[in-house]
Amino acid sequence: MIPNLNEHWNAAYNAEDEQLGWFETNPLQTMKLVNACHLKKDAAILNVGAGTTTLINTLIEKGFTNIIANDISDLALKKLKDRVKKSDNYNLTCILDDLTNSTKLNQLQNIDLWIDRAVLHFFLKEDEQKSYFNLIQKIVSKNGYVLIAVFSLDGAQKCCGLDLKRYNVEMLQNSLGSDFKLIKTFNHTFINPFGGERPYIYTLFQRQS
């Protein structure tokens, strides 16, 4: 893991959740796509770059029992765990790992749903993007789903002081390859905690074989 990145994100997570530019009190858009998967409650759901997202609480409230949260920031995962512990039926596995140079996530198998909100767009180098998509190919099960919500082509150019690569649905389809079929996509402009507009593209793909 690159220590600088871990430090960068830990420094960001020193702030209260409500001060984070990407924080959402209700992960409504992501849940629209999760609901479209019609998963069993014990499906393996991996939220990559989860940070301190409220999505994990929502998934637990919906009765999902096999949830894995990953991040490169140990502080984010600690804060997430501390908050989630307060919910009933607490059940969460946390994996500290770098998505672009994985040593632990790549040991997983048969992930039924991969969820990424606002993470892929930080990977600017081709080899980082390749590692990210190779990891999906390696660990997502046959008929499994890949949900990616990322800044759209008219989205912001920076987040958390870092430059971004923005996407449209064709770029995501090309990176995933023909084995993944697009199930749903929509645009959504997130209004961040400071009132700024952040246009995203939401996509849901399903693996065919």
Ligand X SMILES: C[S@@+](CC[C@H](N)C(=O)[O-])C[C@H]1O[C@@H](n2cnc3c(N)ncnc32)[C@H](O)[C@@H]1O
152 binds ligand X (CB under 6 A): no
73 binds ligand X (CB under 6 A): yes
> Minimum Å distance from CB 178 to ligand X?
26
119 binds ligand X (CB under 6 A): yes
Q: Of residues 46, 49, 151, 206, which one binds ligand X by CB under 6 A? A: 49
The CB density around residue 90, as the number of other CB atoms within 10 Å, is 11
Judged by CB under 6 A, the chain residues 157 through 186 that form the site for ligand X are: 159
d(C-alpha 90, C-alpha 126), whole Å: 38
Report residue 51 as tokens: 């940070």
Q: Of residues 39, 44, 45, 51, which one binds ligand X by CB under 6 A? A: 51
53 binds ligand X (CB under 6 A): yes
> Minimum Å distance from CB 70 to ligand X?
6
> Between 14 and 178, whose beta carbon lies closer to ligand X?
14
Those residues with Cβ within 8 angstroms of residue 69's Cβ, 6 or more apart along the chain or in another chain = 47, 50, 53, 56, 77, 80, 92, 93, 94, 95
The CB density around residue 8, as the number of other CB atoms within 10 Å, is 15
> Between 118 and 176, whose beta carbon lies closer to ligand X?
118
DSSP 194: T
d(C-alpha 55, C-alpha 115), whole Å: 10
> Between 40 and 150, whose beta carbon lies closer to ligand X?
150
Q: Of residues 33, 56, 100, 200, which one binds ligand X by CB under 6 A? A: 100
Do the strands 197-207 and 140-151 form a parallel or antiparallel pair, or are they unpaired?
Answer: antiparallel
Binding mask of the shown chain, residues 19 to 38, with x at each position contacting ligand X by CB under 6 A? ---x----------------
H helix runs in 74-198, sequence order: 74-84, 126-139, 169-176
Query: 116, 190, 129, 128: which is closest to 155 by C-alpha?
Result: 190
Q: Of residues 34, 39, 68, 72, which one binds ligand X by CB under 6 A? A: 72
Summarize as ranges the residues that interact with ligand X (CB under 6 A): 5, 9, 22, 49-51, 53, 70-73, 76, 98-100, 117-119, 122, 159
